[in-house]
Amino acid sequence: MGLDDALIFTRVVECHSFTQAAQSLGMQKSTVSRRIAQLEERLGVRLLNRTTRKLRLTEVGQAYYERCRQIMLDFAEAEQAVMQLQQEPSGLLRITAPIEFGQLFLGSVLGHFMRQYPQISAEVELTTRDVDLVEEGIDIAIQIGQPQDSTLIARKLFQTSRCLYASRDYLALHGTPSTTKDLVSHRAILLPQDSLRYWPLLGEHIACQRVLSCNNITLAREAAQAGAGIAALPVMISDESVRSGRLVEVLPDIRLPVGELYAVYPSRRFQAMKVKTFLDFLMASLATHSGLLEPAVDGLLISRP
């Protein structure tokens, strides 16, 4: 009786209406009103102030509602956990990711995942724009850096080192820097995370001559290969160009900030089986690319409530 009354009370509060709560519960409005009155009598407090137009929680009612709502969430989560033990991942998986990551890794990983779990379908947007996960109904957003929204959950996927690269033609024309101070006279190709005034070095502030800034690392790489300047690029996007001779690493002993990639999703609670399974699959798949990527040490969920 107590749990049933708590459910009825919670539904009335969330519907802001006895009528709508009764409809959602498949009960008569008079029954809902009577059960709330009986609950208040049993507790010896008034939970709701009600007029012909409005329902408003009392202070005690607000505290009771918060506890009841948590109980309802825990109960629903317990039911879902039991049901998921018997379920295969299924349904539509909506993902956004940076363009280069999508082209280099995500397509292959997602293809293998969908082959293993044929009940999964997917929609993927490769983009650099800020995504509103809740508003747009996105299951997972893969992004560079942790989210600013403290209500989101972020799972670190990996980090990749960055190095300075230039073409042989550029270095033949402008010279090869032998120390970081030599960078002052060189042309810089910069990415969004870089300062527009300084080279992206750890522990040093060396002024740069910016000739190009862009929000796409493939574009920055191609410009560097064409001789536009020196670019600070992730190893994962530059390794093949170095092997083929189109790029040369400059000042290989210096340290640059690493790039970190996170999988971001709205909530840890009631996480769909398709989301959890894909995240685990993605982590395992990325671990096989250890030559270019540095996998997350623990892959722990990072919550900043």
Domain extents in the chain: 2-84, 91-160+259-303, 162-250
pLDDT of residue 229: 96
pLDDT of residue 56: 87
What does pLDDT average to in each consecutive run of 10 residues of the chain (305 residues)? Answer: 79 86 88 89 88 82 88 80 69 91 90 93 90 86 82 84 94 95 94 86 90 91 96 89 95 87 77 86 79 47 34
pLDDT of residue 270: 54
2-84 folds as Arc Repressor Mutant, subunit A (1.10.10)
Distance, CA of 48 to CA of 60 (rounded, Å)? 9
Closest to 105 (Cα-Cα) out of 50, 31, 160: 160
CATH number of 162-250: 3.40.190.10
Can you tell me which residue has the tokens 């493939």? 218
Architecture of domain 91-160+259-303: 3-Layer(aba) Sandwich (3.40)
Burial of 57 (0-12, 13-18, 19+ CB in 10 A): middle
Token pair of 140 as six digits: 């997972």
In 45-139, DSSP assigns E strands to 48-50, 55-57, 91-97, 120-126
Beta bridge partners of 119: none
pLDDT of residue 298: 43
Q: Decide whether 91-160+259-303 matches 162-250 in CATH topology.
A: yes
- In degrees rounded to 5, what are phi and psi of residue 230? -100, 135
Helix, strand, coil abundance in the chain, percent, nearest 5? 45, 25, 35
pTM (predicted TM-score) = 0.61
